[in-house]
Structure 1
Amino acid sequence: MSGTVIRVTGVGRDFPAGDGVVHALRGVSFTVGRGELVAVRGRSGAGKSTLLNLIGGLDRPTTGRIEVAGHDVGAAAERDLLELRRSTIGFIFQSFGLIPILSAAENVGVPLRLARRPAAEREQRVAVLLELVGLGAHTAQRPYEMSGGQQQRVAVARALANDPQVLIADEPTGQLDSDTGRSIMDLLRAVVDARGTTALVATHDPGLMDRADRVLTLRDGALVDEGQEENGS
C-alpha cells in the first residue's frame, strides 16, 4: 500500500497468568495510511491498549511484526525506540499525563527541551501549538487551574511538539463528558486533516466513530472482520 505509515502483520501478545497464558492479541494484521485517522474500538479487555502500546514501542509483540514509518518496532534497540518516540510518535493518554507544577506552556515545551531545541525556537513553537488547540490565552495556567478538556488540549499540543508522523491516543476522551470528548475528537480530526498526521485512536465511545476514516473492532484480542458488529462496543 503506497503511503503506508503503520503496518501490523500477524501480531500476537501473550502474558503469563498463573500456570497459564493470556492471549491479549491474536494474529492482528492491518495497515494505516499517511493522513488517516483510524479508531480502534472494543470492550474493556479487548486488547486496545495492548495494541497501541506495541505500535508505540512501549512493549514488544510475542509474535508478528510492527512497522512504524519504516521502522521495525518489535526488533529495534531501546535507544532507537527512544528516538522514535521522541521524533516520530506522539502519545496522548486518558489521564492527560501533565506535570502538575509546570504551566501549560512549560508542559508543551518538555519534548522540545528533551530534543535540545533552542529557547527562542521552543517559545515560538509552543505559542503556535497552544493557539492551534485553542489555548493561546492559557499559557501560564497550571493543570489544576484548567478543566479536563483544557488539560487534554494541552496534552494534544505536547504530543504535536516535535511534529510527529504518528499520533497514538489511548482513550483520550475517557475522563471527559460527551460534549468535551467530541470537541477533542474534532481537534484530532482537524490536526490530521491540516498536517497530514497519521492517528490511531482507541475509544469505547460509539459517538466518536464518525470522526474516523475507518474503525477497527477488537474482540478478545482479535480483529473482527469488516461488516461484523460488536454489540455494546
Structure 2
Amino acid sequence: MTQPQAATADTTTQPMVAVTDLRRSFGTGERTVHALRGVSFTVGRGELTALKGRSGSGKTTLLNLVGGLDAPTGGSIALDGIDLASLDEDGRLALRRERIGFVFQSFGLIPMLTAAENVGVPLRLRKAPAAEREERAHTLLALVGLADHANQRPGELSGGQQQRVAIARALANQPSLIIADEPTGQLDSETGRSIMELLRAVVRSEGVTVLVATHDPTLMGLADRVIEVRDGRIVEEEAEQAA
C-alpha cells in the first residue's frame, strides 16, 4: 500500500490543488470521447473555487479526477503536495478518507441512520471511539445549524437540511479539501443560496478549501474564483467578490 505523503517542501507555500495538462478520454478508436483536453489550474489554500459549465462540459469528470475517484489519461494532479500518480488504489483510498470530504447533489445519506449517525460514518470507518464520534457529530451539526435535528433521520428532514447534514459529514475527518458536485442541484434557489453561504462560512471557520461545480450563475458571486469549463477545456477564469 502506498500511503499518501505530503511533499517535503513547506506545503503552506503550495496550492492545495495543482492540475497540469490534465486529459481524460473514454473509449477507443472512432468512438473515443475526450472529456478533458489539457486542463491546467491551481486552487489556493482556504479558497472557494467554483467550476461552471453546461452539462457534459467535463466538470464532474474533473472533480472525480481531483478527488482520486478516477485516473487521468494524461497530465498530473497534486493534492496538498501529494502527486496522485504516486499512489496505488489503497493510497488513494487513504487520501480520500483522510484529506477529502465529498458533497453530492443527491445528498448520499444513509436512510436508516440519524443525522448524527450519518455525520459519524467517516469517523466509524476510521475506527474512532464512540464518544469522539458523538462529540464531533454534534459539534458539526451545530456548525451547520442543525443542533436540534441530531436524532432525526433523512426522511424527516427537508432537502436543504439533508444537504447541511452532508456538509457536516464531509467535515467529519477535518479534511483539507471539500469537493462538491452540484450541491444545490436539487434545491430551490433560496435554499441553494443558503447552502453556498454555508460553504463560504465553512471556508472561513474551518480553514478548508472548497472546489464546487455549479451551473447556477446566481451562486457564483459567493466564490473567490470562477473557472469555466467548456468542451473539456478551461476557457475563462474570473475573480469573484465573495459576499
Larger mean CA deviation between 73-82 and 175-184 belongs to: 73-82
> Which amino acid in the other structure matches residue 215 of structure 1?
V
Residues 14 and 81, structure 2, Cα contact 8 Å, conserved in 1 = no
Q: Tell me, what secondary structure is at the counterpart of 2:120? A: helix
Aligned to 2:8: none
The answer for unaligned runs of 5 or more in structure 1 is 228-233
TM-score by length of 2: 0.91
Aligned pairs for 1:80-229 within 5 A: 80-226=91-237
**Residue 43 and residue 121 in structure 1: after superposition, are their counterparts in 2 closer, same or farther (change >3 A)?**
same
Structure 1 position 43 matched with structure 2 position 68: no
Tell me the distance in 2 between the aligned counterparts of 1:75 and 1:24.
23
Tell me the distance in 2 between the aligned counterparts of 1:100 and 1:45.
30
Residues 57 and 74, structure 1, Cα contact 8 Å, conserved in 2 = no
Tell me the distance in 2 between the aligned counterparts of 1:219 and 1:169.
19
> Which amino acid in the other structure matches residue 39 of structure 1?
A
Q: 1:63 aligns with which of 68, 71, 74?
A: 74
Tell me the distance in 1 between the aligned counterparts of 2:225 and 2:51.
9
TM-score by length of 1: 0.95
Aligned to 1:231: none
CA deviation string 1:120-161 (max 9, x = no partner):
111110110000000000011111111000000000000000
Aligned to 1:230: none
Tell me the distance in 1 between the aligned counterparts of 2:28 and 2:161.
39
Structure 1 position 10 matched with structure 2 position 21: yes
Residues 96 and 151, structure 1, Cα contact 8 Å, conserved in 2 = yes
Moved over 6 A (4+): none
Q: Once superposed, what is the RMSD of the aligned Cα atoms?
A: 1.3
